[in-house]
Amino acid sequence: MYIEKILKDHPIIAAIKDVDDLEQVPKDKIDVIFILRSRLSDLNEIIEKAMDLDVLVFLHIDMVKGIGKDKEAIRYLAQEIGIDGIMTTKSYLIKAAKKENLITIQRLFMLDSESLKTGVNIVKSTNPDLIEVLPGLVVPTMVDKLKSKLDIPIIAGGLVRNREQVSEILDKDVTAISTSQTDLWENYK
């Protein structure tokens, strides 16, 4: 898959919280960004600036204010805004995004063994391109269980704060780490 090849060279994903964060993205170190939150009125500006960085742009659709969480919203984002993919906790949005040829990331919160079981079932029903496991710090202990049940690339996201944690996570069978910690965007090794 195309995104896996990109993430192999640069496994850190810049998680953007506002348009100012885009100015800190190092062009030669980051190939994928996640826009974690936005308002519909700001979306064009954010996407344009992100695309100027020549990166793949994913939108956390659940966190966009002012846009519906339905098939029409997905179609609009794909055809009019021009995002590369979405990330969501909602399985019906994964299905809608796949119909629009967007790259899909199913977000899974791993709180206990029941959430693992539920998450696996959701992923099997939606077949996203990737999964993002939150919080990222649990990934080293969960990756073997997930990989035994799913053949989908894993992104660790949330609460990853330092280089030691990055190294520990990337030493496992994990495709990438998403983080809003700007110091990890530049020098994660």
Domain boundaries, the chain: 2-186
Q: Return d(Cα 45, Cα 51) in angstroms, integer.
A: 10
Q: What is the pLDDT of residues 52-69, one digit of tens each?
A: 999 999 999 999 999 989
Residue 129 one-letter amino acid: D
pTM, rounded to two decimals: 0.95
For the segment(s) 2-186, the CATH number from 1.25.40.10, 3.30.70.1230, 3.20.20.70, 3.30.565.10 is 3.20.20.70
The pLDDT confidence band at residue 187, using thresholds 50, 70 and 90, is: low
Q: What is the pLDDT of residues 72-87, one digit of tens each?
A: 999 999 999 999 999 9
Q: CA angle, corner 153, sides to 151 and 158, nearest 5?
A: 130
> What is the reported pLDDT for 18?
87
pLDDT at position 177 over 80: yes
